[in-house]
Structure 1
């Protein structure tokens, strides 16, 4: 398999780290949707990161859909998704919160970096900022005391996506989300980032 995209994208990185946890072999190709647009288009004409090229040459896109596929390739004992329906619902809620945080961070970054200053709409930016802070506020409440993981006794997809989201947000908009605003999330993410599966696919922004 070939994973296409830069590890400064939380969506690319959550796939890479998940593949590490699942024990699946893959080649990572750090192709940028901005700097290498034409090259990316030769792999996936939609130019969407992450893209995953399967061993049979099928190009998949969207991190959640890619993860759904690779889960089916891995040993079920290494699955990153809980089988119990009640636990699964809480797990998916946490993944959704983390993905919302990623989305809102991206919107803020794009608004500042890609839109001319005179065309920025501050009420919309204020709304996105409030949504971003609300997502981390909910996650802060969900993380329990001690050194456990969000779901179960080992890291699951909710843990991966939450830690990846936090690292992304803190690197891109630290002035909006200071570490001391959500100290429990910050400590939790630091512990996850110290794991070998995370260190093998570091944030490269």
Structure 2
């Protein structure tokens, strides 16, 4: 299988980290979605990453869809999205919560990349406030279980690690003192190869 995408994209990183945690091998093919790439348009007319090309040449797009597919590979007992019940909904719910952090951080970055005279300070402030609101909610809502969905690591944990490391990369600020439980959870996640080994090039 080949995974097409940027090494700095959090959407690509969550697929990479998930595949590594699940033990699914793939070939990484770097594609920059900000460049006009005939190859990428051929793979996904929307020009977005990630794209997963299967061994038979068929294509999957959109990160959660790709993740759902990857979780069907290998031993079912090692699945990172529980098959049913509360654990499944907890894993997917925490995926959504972590995705909200990424969405706010990405929107802030994109606004700040516009020419200075076209930037909207109110939009930047709103995204920062949205990020803070979600972060506070996550701190209050973290379960006391070893992992998000119980005793085993799941998609929710991986996404939380990806989201918080993306924060360090694109929106660095001192959030940890006010969120000690979440900071402790991040230290635990950072020790896992799936998070540690998917850092953007030159960033640690």
Question: Which TM-score applies when normalising by structure 1?
Answer: 0.88
1:57 is displaced (CA, Å) by 1.0
Note if contact 2:90-2:156 (Cα within 8 Å) is conserved in structure 1.
no
Alpha-carbon distance in 1 for matches of 2:34, 2:23? 30
- Whether contact under 8 Å (2:4, 2:31) holds in the other structure is yes
Written as runs of structure 1 = structure 2, the 5 A alignment for 1:20-169 is 20-35=20-35, 37-113=37-113, 115-144=114-143, 148-169=146-167
Q: Shift of the alpha carbon at 1:74?
A: 3.0
Q: Hey, what does 2:170 align to over in structure 1?
A: 172
Q: Is the 8 A contact 2:94 2:160 kept in 1?
A: yes
Aligned-pair Cα RMSD in Å: 2.1
The Cα offsets for residues 2-37 of structure 1, whole Å up to 9 and x where unpaired, read as: 111123211111111111122212111122212573
User: Structure 1, unaligned stretches of length 5 or more?
Assistant: none
| Aligned match of 2:197 | 200
Contact 1:170 1:179 in 2 (8 A): no
CA contact (8 A) 1:3 1:50 kept: yes
Q: TM-score, normalised by structure 2?
A: 0.88
Give the Cα separation in 1 of the matches to 2:196 and 2:127: 30
Q: Contact 1:97–1:138 at 8 Å: present in 2 too?
A: no
C-alpha displacement of 1:166: 0.4
| Structure-2 change in CA distance of 1:30 and 1:181 (3 Å) | farther
Distance 1:120 1:73 in 2: 44
The answer as to whether partners of 1:22 and 1:75 remain within 8 angstroms in 2 is no
